[in-house]
Chain A
């Protein structure tokens, strides 16, 4: 009960007070972490930038890799590119991130020495050199996660494209004498993106949840790392709050995905 009151009343109003200088909940007890004795939301606030930059970039990179692969392998079904794409997706599905991550560390950090093994959270981007360093230290976690994300999304893209390629309107567009480029990239792609967009939306909560394993492996001090640290330290308020936020995000993005689907595809109507 106390936790509910704290979560739904004290914490939002603390934020409100902080913005507008009011004193609605002055002196009320906030949700405190048992580890550090500081409010859980302060910790989350500190951790979320790392998670969003690293995991968010990885998600974007994944999407950017996946879409061309998916489009091309559907356009040239059973071609060499398609089979390579299938193999890539299969490997991306099957190799768990903790193994691909360690492999990347061994190859790119230990043997080649291109990137640092650990993510330095203290680094502040002030000039060009530090920006470059930030990019370098982000490279490995982004690669690891991007690969895993790209695998799933490229499969969805491919099958969705394949479904649409056989449709009558594609034949009509070709018969009108439109260039192949317009047919594929305008007509087919736009229709095929509808289910893919919802899949992408469904994946967004996992960005906030942070990839627990990847963060753990590379020492990214994000939400996932906070959760696992809290679990090891039996820090129940922290675990409870984080788990609740994850659950809310998942429900929220499920709803958003449904609504987007309805907006993008006029054939779907919710009565």
Chain B
């Protein structure tokens, strides 16, 4: 009955190894918990915290309130409940971060694999990557938003239009790091014996890429992805902060901060809450990325 003994001492799976290493990184654990709380808060918060419906007159009377039991974060200059706005804004900010990161990662991995695997494509694709790296990002984004905002908004509505445009713009301007990392990995991976073996039994290039190379570049890509989320959230809030992001009635954390700036001297908390939310999110994502990098590196994990 060898089965019983094998089941008794479960061989450490790779995933468990990674998790064990990840757990030892205090910062990463803190990041994971903080991010988890934030995500849960913005996902179910708006259902739990439904702001009371106020008439316009009531709302005007209740404007610029400090924190109270009725309005835990106070109200803004139009009498809107800040907590409810913060929760909704968090949804948009996190969604922008995740979607933009996904676009960047998919695109970057695609370019990186093509450049690394096919020698003929390497030159042109990497020169294109260099070209994108040479572009000044924030100005480029600003120009993109300026040029296409009205056109896209006219096609699919102002809110969805702004979302699509911003997410897309951030996505296509932040894939370069991933592409470079993936290319480097692929260049070393494709010389390995198992790839040679796969090729010698007649596997097609796309099968080799999908089954043999792609699974092995997952770990650096994951690290790049976490850091990409942080970057995307910051970029979105920069755009909102400069007044070129989402429309005013569609709050994001950056937008709330921008709106709060005018009242900064009297109601500093209106700037501090969204700023704190952005900083905490980015900080925890960065820490998670740091922990992942250590956990996914087998050279460190062994120790």
Contact = CB atoms under 8 A, between A and B. Distances in A.
Contacts of B223: none
A251 interface: yes
Nearest to B265: A110
A96 B261 contact: no
Interface in B252-277: 254, 257, 261, 264-265, 268, 271-272, 275-276
B142 A228 contact: yes
B11 to A, nearest CB: 32
| Interface hub of A95, A216, A232 (most chain B Cβ within 10 A) | A95
Interface in B267-301: 268, 271-272, 275-276, 278-279, 282-283, 286-287, 290
Interface stretch (B14-22, B132-140, B158-166, B180-188): B132-140
Contacts, number: 91
A246 B136 contact: yes
A182 interface: no
A94 B135 CA distance: 23
Given A110-B265, A110-B268, A216-B242, A94 B257 contact: no
Given A105-B264, A110-B264, A228-B242, A96 B237 contact: yes
Nearest to A227: B139
B287 A102 contact: no
B146 A231 contact: yes
Contact of A102 (B138, B243, B257): B257
A216 B238 CA distance: 11
A243 interface: yes
B136 A99 contact: no
Contacts of B268: 106, 110
A242 interface: yes
A195 B238 CA distance: 29
Contact of B136 (A94, A105, A209, A232): A209
A213 B242 contact: yes
B139 A106 contact: no
Contact of A250 (B134, B237, B271): B134
Given A90-B27, A231-B142, A246-B139, A102 B282 contact: no
Contacts of B286: 90, 93-94
A94 B280 CA distance: 8
B230 interface: yes
Contact of A103 (B243, B244, B261, B275): B275
Contact of B134 (A91, A96, A254): A254
Interface string A103-120: 101100010000000000
A243 B139 contact: yes
Contacts of B230: 94
B234 interface: yes
Interface residues of A, number: 31
Contacts of A91: 279, 283
B263 to A, nearest CB: 11
A99 B275 contact: yes
Nearest to B274: A99
A106 B264 contact: yes
Contacts of B60: none
B272 A103 contact: yes
B73 interface: no
Given A110-B265, A216-B242, A98 B142 contact: no
Contacts of B261: 102
A144 B56 CA distance: 40
B241 interface: yes
B143 interface: yes
Main secondary structure of the interface of A (DSSP, over half): helix
A247 B136 contact: yes
| Interface hub of B139, B237, B279, B282 (most chain A Cβ within 10 A) | B139
| Interface hub of B142, B243, B278, B286 (most chain A Cβ within 10 A) | B142
A4 B220 CA distance: 42
Contacts of A251: 134
Contacts of A93: 282, 286
Contacts of B136: 205, 209, 243, 246-247, 250
Nearest to A117: B265
A95 B237 CA distance: 11
A77 B137 CA distance: 35
Nearest to A105: B264
A227 B237 CA distance: 18
A212 interface: yes
Contacts of A232: 243
A102 B263 CA distance: 12
A90 B139 CA distance: 25
Interface of B: 27, 134-136, 138-140, 142-143, 146, 230, 234, 237-238, 241-244, 254, 257, 261, 264-265, 268, 271-272, 275-276, 278-279, 282-283, 286-287, 290
19 contacts: A90-B283, A95-B279, A96-B234, A102-B264, A102-B271, A106-B268, A110-B265, A209-B136, A209-B139, A212-B142, A231-B244, A239-B139, A239-B143, A242-B139, A243-B136, A243-B139, A247-B134, A247-B136, A251-B134
Given A95-B275, A231-B139, 4 more contacts: A94-B286, A102-B257, A209-B136, A247-B134
